[in-house]
Amino acid sequence: MDNVTLIAIISIATAGLTISIGSIGPALGQGKAVASALASLAQQPDAAPTITRTLFVGLAMVESTAIYCFVVAMIIIFANPFWNYIISN
């Protein structure tokens, strides 16, 4: 179990856990926001443009935290500075 292998296995495990744990919060938050949007549309159909516009901005904000996790997972897999340092030495 040399150093290269150790960093490889920790990178694989971390990348998977990062995106899987990081998807729980955003998915639940978006589900709640969408559910509320649909109930609002049913209650006040005339406000549909305002509601859907606010919904999409909100979904984008919530999605941003999921994207942070995805970015970190991709960095760990494809642009890992520690991995580059180890295999270049």
Subset of residues 10 to 49 that bind a second copy, contact rule: CB under 8 A: 10-48
| Cα 89 from Cα 2, distance rounded (Å) | 13
Please give the residues from 67 up to 86 whose contact with a second copy meets the rule CB under 8 A.
Answer: 68-70, 72-73, 75-78, 80-83, 85-86
Q: What is the 3-state secondary structure (H, E, C) of 25-69?
A: HHHHHHHHHHHHHHHHHHHCHHHHHHHHHHHHHHHHHHHHHHHHH
- CB of residue 84 vs a second copy: minimum separation in angstroms? 10
By the rule CB under 8 A, 59 interacts with a second copy: yes
- CB of residue 80 vs a second copy: minimum separation in angstroms? 7
